[in-house]
Amino acid sequence: MTSEVTFSPIDDENPWKATVNGSESTVRFLKLESKWGKLEFGRGSDGRKGWLWTETGGGGSVTMPWATTPNGDLLVGLLLEKRLNMGGDVLCVIGGFVKPDESHQKAAEREEEEEASIQSNDGPLAGVPINSNRLYFQANPQKDEGVHSYHVQVPFTDLTPANKHPNWYTHSRWQPKNGAELVFMPIEEAAQICPDALAYPAMLRIALEQREKSRNVLAQH
């Protein structure tokens, strides 16, 4: 049986009115659950009243492919894909939810293959898991909850110049699905035009790791 459920705010004391198949009731606490997680309205652990989203497995996984040019410039790989909730064609990091029966590592590997035909990664990036929206998402990094960031280094020789932009590249073998395109671009440009918040911790961590490696090389000379 299909039910139509709508919610609308009332006031602070009676925050939400629920309408189920035309019948109304006042809601002080609400919980919606699926295999991906649960959405709750009520008072959270900090005492604040509002919406909270808790993901299954504590969060998702994202993967950032990257490469360096012969002159040392850092390129990062992002999916150019259509997301209507973000306005159309946008740049997003590879990634998604953790399924109930898998680890963050397995989720990263599955999303890599599903979204970009990548067969493996180089492991997690250093740093705590990410809370992608601290106002609405419930994730405790001390419990390893949040979005985990992974990376995969790509030889520059595997990249070919893209037609869309003189500074962009595509991969010679990886073929994204569902009409998306995996494009590599200078990290400075990606930081200006990518609207996906989950991409930025991965980009920053890769850039910091490469800077540290460069410092170590200079220190040895």
Q: Please give the residue that has the higher pLDDT: either 163 or 47.
A: 163
Nearest alpha-carbon partner for 38 in 175, 137, 166: 137
Global confidence as pTM: 0.82
CA angle 135, 91, 67 (to 5 degrees): 110
Banded model confidence at residue 2, pLDDT cuts 50, 70, 90: low
Distances in Å between the alpha carbon of 110 and those of 104, 183, 198, 220?
10, 20, 18, 39
Distance CA 133, CA 50 (A): 13
- Burial of 119: CB neighbours in 10 Å, binned 0-12, 13-18, 19+: exposed
- Joined together, the tokens standing for residue 159 give 């990249």
HSE-CB for 65 with a 13 A CA cutoff:
29
Cβ distance 106 to 148 under 8 Å? no
Distance CA 131, CA 54 (A): 11
CATH of 58-130+146-219, one of 3.10.180.10, 3.30.1540.10, 3.30.310.80, 3.90.79.10: 3.90.79.10
Distance CA 45, CA 159 (A): 48
Helices (H), the chain: 104-116, 187-193, 199-219
Q: Which amino acid is at 41?
A: F
Residue-wise pLDDT for 37-70, tens only, equals: 888 877 666 666 777 888 877 789 999 999 999 9
Among 13-17, 45-49, 164-168, 212-216, the least confident range: 13-17
Q: Tokens 């020789």 map to which residue?
A: 157
pLDDT for 45: 67
Question: What is the radius of gyration, based on Cα positions, of the chain?
Answer: 21
Q: Provide mean pLDDT across the span 184-199.
A: 96
Domain ranges in the chain with CATH number 3.90.79.10:
58-130+146-219
pLDDT for 157: 96
Distance CA 169, CA 185 (A): 7
Cβ distance 117 to 220 under 8 Å? no
Residue-wise pLDDT for 88-143, tens only, equals: 889 999 999 888 888 999 999 999 999 999 988 999 999 999 988 877 787 888 88
